[in-house]
Amino acid sequence: MRPTPQRARTSTIVRRALTATLTMGILCGGNAVAGPVVAAAPPSPPRDAFYDHPADLATLAPGSIIRTRKITARSLQLLPINVDAWQLLYRTSGADKQPDATVTTVLVPRGKRPTKLLSYQAATDSTLRQCNPSYSLRTGLPVSFSTRPGPLTFALPGAEVLLASAGLAQGWAVALPDHGGTSARFLTPRQPGYATLDGIRAVQNFSPMRMSAKTPVGLWGYSGGAIASSWAIEEKQSYAPELTITGAAFGAPERDLTASLRSVNGALLGGLIPIALDGISKDSPGFRTAIRRYLTPQGRAVLAETGNQCIGQNALLNLWFDYRRYLTKPLNVVLADPVIKREIAARSITGRSTSVPTYIYNGVNEEVAPISGTDKLVRSYCAGGAPVTYRRELLPPNIPQQIFSTHGTVAITGAPGAFAWLKSRMNSGGAPARSGCDVSTVPATLTNAGALGELGPSFIVNPLATMLGLPIGS
């Protein structure tokens, strides 16, 4: 069968984008090893009045919609998705409960009025607004030689929307909140949970959705998105008790930051370390002052530059990042600093539980979210009586982290099992989840019957249809 002109053009676009991305990866990776990083002021986002906070923000209830707009959403920051899509600016709360605002991007099967909602928290992992879902699903390109955050401007939401589209295929509405707020926070305690919960409220308040607080809602996220999802289920009972969250599925939640710091050091994804330090520094001037005392001049430059880019560029510029090259004192001394210790503890496991049925998955050989930390998080939930299904995945094996990422692999292989569980909860009709904790170590959740059943339609056919601009879920 001969390809249609539209498919031929799409194929050409994808090939060119991949070629450019791989080329930049080689170039940027080489530069990361060869020379020093020169920091510059973070680039300002393109002027867009849509993000402006109103003067009466404090008078609005959390979840109230400030303004809306219809958009064309794109996957991989290139290809239009054939859905109805809007963006909602809504009122939420900062970590200190002070009024704040952020945006959620809502995708709906073309012409449908869904009765269920999936809130997908993407792993933004950046303190630059342009890396948020509301930007990367609407504007920009994955590679740009003329844009300041570039040349590799690819942000993860553009790829993760292909996972989130599994919800669209079920006929659900899918929302991707900017859970770091319009000020683009990362690793802030509590705040991403508030932004996620208020994003759900905003969608339910959006009249075209015809939803209510009784609408079944599911949460899903991986890595940075799992952090936001975990805060959401911990804050739900006190902050948004009216919401009907039937289940939350998330993988590799880095809620033991000390363990993550030690584990990922020197690994392929070691560049996540300066991203984390930059995120905490943005929240806490005291932390920023304290950590700078222990950094070499080169370390300070790396940290400053991290705030100027999305995760793709940061990861490539800092391949195999080793903090021992950039610290003037041993790590134990740095972590014992009272200010640093306090701020890391505020972002780690709280010991609080949840009433939300939860599915958690994590690689046993994980380098970014080490299994010991996720084990602790699950134990804390289980001790509080939470209904938790926890799957510890043995595959892939313990391959050297300098050449392979278990974290990146389980993001893909663990997704079908997570979605199969989430779909069963969304279709449960509000039936209570099985009480207690179900913890097991398995070769791979991908081998489960439910996961295999989702693999073809939800994670092979559906992403291809999404990229080709075919209708999803209609």
pLDDT digits (tens, 9 = 90+) for 118-156: 999 999 999 999 999 999 999 989 999 887 788 999 999
Residue 20 has pLDDT above 60, yes or no: no
Alpha-carbon distance of 338 to 52, in angstroms, equals 37
Q: What is the 8-class DSSP label of residue 4?
A: P
Of residues 350, 307, 32, 339, the one with CA closest to residue 190: 350
Cβ-contact 165, 472 below 8 angstroms: yes
Q: What is the pTM of this model?
A: 0.91
324 torsion bin: left (phi>0), alpha (psi -120 to 50), beta (else): alpha
326-364 burial, b at 16+ Cβ within 10 Å, e below that, comes to bbeeeeeebeebebbeebbebbbbbeebbebbbbbbbbb
- 371-383 vs 257-264: helix axis angle to the nearest 10? 160
First to last CA, the chain: 25
Average pLDDT of the chain?
Answer: 91
Of residues 449, 470, 474, the one with CA closest to residue 6: 470
Tell how strand 74-75 and strand 79-80 pair up: antiparallel
- 224-239 vs 191-205: helix axis angle to the nearest 10? 70
Cα dist from 372 to 164, 315, 376, whole Å = 28, 24, 6
Q: What is the 8-class DSSP label of residue 443?
A: S
Cβ-contact 455, 446 below 8 angstroms: yes
Residue 301 has pLDDT above 90, yes or no: yes
Give 157's contacts (C-beta < 8 A, 6+ positions apart): 122, 124, 131, 132, 133, 136, 137, 176
Cβ-contact 411, 252 below 8 angstroms: yes
Q: What is the mean pLDDT of residues 380-384?
A: 97
Cα dist from 328 to 47, 214, 301, 323, 333, whole Å = 40, 54, 14, 10, 10
Q: What is the mean pLDDT of residues 333-338?
A: 98
Residue 8 has pLDDT above 80, yes or no: no
Q: What is the mean pLDDT of residues 222-238?
A: 98
What is the residue whose two structure tokens read 């879920």? Answer: 473
Alpha-carbon distance of 27 to 459, in angstroms, equals 31
Question: At 202, is the pLDDT very low, low, confident or very high (cuts 50, 70, 90)?
Answer: very high
Residue 13 has pLDDT above 90, yes or no: no
What is the residue whose two structure tokens read 């505020």? Answer: 346
Look at residue 128 in the predicted model and tell me its pLDDT: 95
3-state secondary structure of 91: strand
Question: At 16, is the pLDDT very low, low, confident or very high (cuts 50, 70, 90)?
Answer: very low
Question: At 40, is the pLDDT very low, low, confident or very high (cuts 50, 70, 90)?
Answer: low
Alpha-carbon distance of 422 to 247, in angstroms, equals 6
Residue 361 has pLDDT above 50, yes or no: yes
